[in-house]
Amino acid sequence: MRLGVLLMVLVLTGLCSLLVGDWPLAPAEIWQGLMTGHPQISEVILQIRLPRMVLALLMGMALGGAGAALQALFQNPLADPGVLGVSGVAAFAAALGISAGAAGLWAIGGYAVLGAAIGGLVLVLAASVARQTVTLVLFGAGLASLAGSGTALVFNLSPTPVTTAEMMNWLMGSVAHRDWRHVGVMAVGASVGLGILMALRRPLDMLRLGEETATSLGVQVRLVRLWVIAGVSILSGLAVAVAGVVGFVGLAAPHVVRGLVRPPERQIMPMAALMGGGLTVMADLGVRLIPTDAELKLGVITALLGAPILMVIALRYREVRP
C-alpha cells in the first residue's frame, strides 16, 4: 500500500512535469497532439520535456538509493554522497577534466566517476579508523570543503573565461537541455549501481547489529564496504556527469520515507530511491514554476531545500550512535 501511494505520487508528479514549461499544455492537448502527430507538440513532449523528466527521475533515484546505502553502511543519519564529500570530489575531478579539455558526456563522466570512487575509498579508510560516527561526518565535511576549494582553484586557474563559465554553469546542476543520450547513460548507470546496492540490503541490515555481530553471522564487512562504495561511486559520479551537482537528495529521501511511511528497514533503500526520484522531479518542476528572468538551476533549489533538512536532522540526532 505504501509503495502504491508512492508510485501514484511519482506518476502524478511526472505528468505535471510534462504540462509545465514556456508553453503550458493541457493533458487533452498533449494526448491529441501526440495521437495526430502534431510536430510542435511532439517535439516539445518527446524531445524536451519527457527526457528532462525521466533524467530527473533516474538521477533522483540514484542519489536517494546511494544516500540510503551510505546511511546503512556507516550507521549515520547524516550520511549522503554530498555531505560526505563523494559528490564534491566527483565535481572536482570533472572540473579538472573540463579545464584539461575533456568534452562530451563519456569523457567528463569518466572523470566524475573516477573522482567519486576516490572520494568513496577515502571515506572507507576514514571509517576504518574513526571511533565515532560524528568524527566520520566531520571528516566528510572536511573532504567536501577540500574538494570545493580544489574546484574553486580550478576556476581560478581556468585558461579562458568561456571555460570558467562552462564549469560554473554545469556545476550548479540542471537537467535542462538534456536529451535521450543523457537518459540512456544515466539509466545504465542507475541500473548497475542500484543493482549492486539492492543486492547488499541483507548484509547492510545485519551491519545494524554492529560489525562484530555481522561478522559472526558471516558478513564480509570489508567486501561489503567496497561494493557499497563501488555502487555509490557509479551512481553519484554519473549523476554529477550528466547533470552537475544536485545536493541533499540522498540525505533527504531516506528521512522523508522514514517520516511519512515508516517502512520496514529492508524496504527503506528501494523506497528512498523512488522518493529521491520524486523529490528531484518536484524540484525541477519548481525550477520552472518560479517566475524569474533566467531559469533557476536545479542544484540551487535542492540546496535551498536540503540545507534546512540537514540542520533539523543534525539537531534531532544530537547524540549519534556509532
Residue 298 lies in a domain: yes
pLDDT tens profile 273-299 = 999 999 999 888 888 888 777 778 888
Contacts of 164 (CB under 8 A, 6+ apart): 155, 158
Cell numbers linked to 12:
502524478
Q: Please state at what angle helix 105-129 crosses helix 86-99, rounded to 10 degrees.
A: 140
Residue 322 lies in a domain: no
Instruction: Identify the pLDDT of residue 132.
Output: 64
Contacts of 31 (CB under 8 A, 6+ apart): none
Residue 50 lies in a domain: yes
248 with 309: CB under 8 angstroms?
yes
CA pair distance 81, 212, nearest whole angstrom: 26
Which domain range does residue 48 map to? 2-316
Residue 321 lies in a domain: no
Torsion of CA 181, 287, 42, 8, to 10 degrees: 90
Judged against a pLDDT cut of 80, whether residue 142 lies above it is answered with: yes
Instruction: Identify the pLDDT of residue 317.
Output: 61
CA pair distance 211, 277, nearest whole angstrom: 31
Instruction: Identify the pLDDT of residue 193.
Output: 93
User: Using 50, 70 and 90 to split pLDDT, how confident is the model at 320?
Assistant: very low
Mean pLDDT of 58-65: 94
CA pair distance 271, 249, nearest whole angstrom: 13
How many structural domains is the chain composed of? 1
Residue 145 lies in a domain: yes
Query: Which of 47-61, 121-135, 235-249, 281-295 is the least confident region?
Result: 121-135
Q: How many CB atoms lie within 10 A of CB 96?
A: 18
Question: What does pTM read for this prediction?
Answer: 0.85
272 with 253: CB under 8 angstroms?
yes
Residue type, 308: P
Instruction: Identify the pLDDT of residue 1.
Output: 47
Positive/negative CA dihedral, 307, 313, 319, 322: negative
Mean pLDDT of 109-129: 82
Residue 82 lies in a domain: yes
Percent of the chain whose pLDDT exceeds 70? 93
CA pair distance 94, 99, nearest whole angstrom: 9
Instruction: Identify the pLDDT of residue 321.
Output: 45
Judged against a pLDDT cut of 90, whether residue 172 lies above it is answered with: no
Instruction: Identify the pLDDT of residue 24.
Output: 74
112 with 89: CB under 8 angstroms?
no
Cα–Cα separations (whole angstroms), residue 237 to 93, 109, 179, 264, 277: 10, 7, 19, 29, 17
Residues in the chain: 322
Residue 244 lies in a domain: yes
pLDDT tens profile 25-35 = 777 777 777 77
Residue type, 50: L
CA pair distance 64, 272, nearest whole angstrom: 5
Judged against a pLDDT cut of 90, whether residue 62 lies above it is answered with: yes
In the chain, what is the straight-line distance between the N-terminal and C-terminal CA atoms, in Å?
33
91 with 244: CB under 8 angstroms?
yes
Cell numbers linked to 237:
559520479
CATH of the domain at 258: 1.10.3470.10
Of 212 and 191, the structure prediction assigns the larger pLDDT to 191
Instruction: Identify the pLDDT of residue 206.
Output: 85
Mean pLDDT of 75-93: 84
Residue 103 lies in a domain: yes
Q: How many CB atoms lie within 10 A of CB 212?
A: 9
Closest by alpha carbon to 287, among 276, 274, 302, 306?
302
Judged against a pLDDT cut of 60, whether residue 161 lies above it is answered with: yes
User: Using 50, 70 and 90 to split pLDDT, how confident is the model at 133?
Assistant: low
Q: Where does residue 110 rank: exposed (0-12), middle (13-18), buried (19+ CB within 10 A)?
A: middle
DSSP string, 122-185: HHHHHHHH-SSHHHHHHHHHHHHHHHHHHHHHHHHT-SSHHHHHHHHHHHT---TT--HHHHHH
Closest by alpha carbon to 242, among 83, 116, 69, 101?
116
pLDDT tens profile 208-259 = 777 788 888 888 887 888 888 888 888 988 888 888 888 888 888 888 888 7
Mean pLDDT for all residues in the chain: 82
Judged against a pLDDT cut of 90, whether residue 194 lies above it is answered with: yes
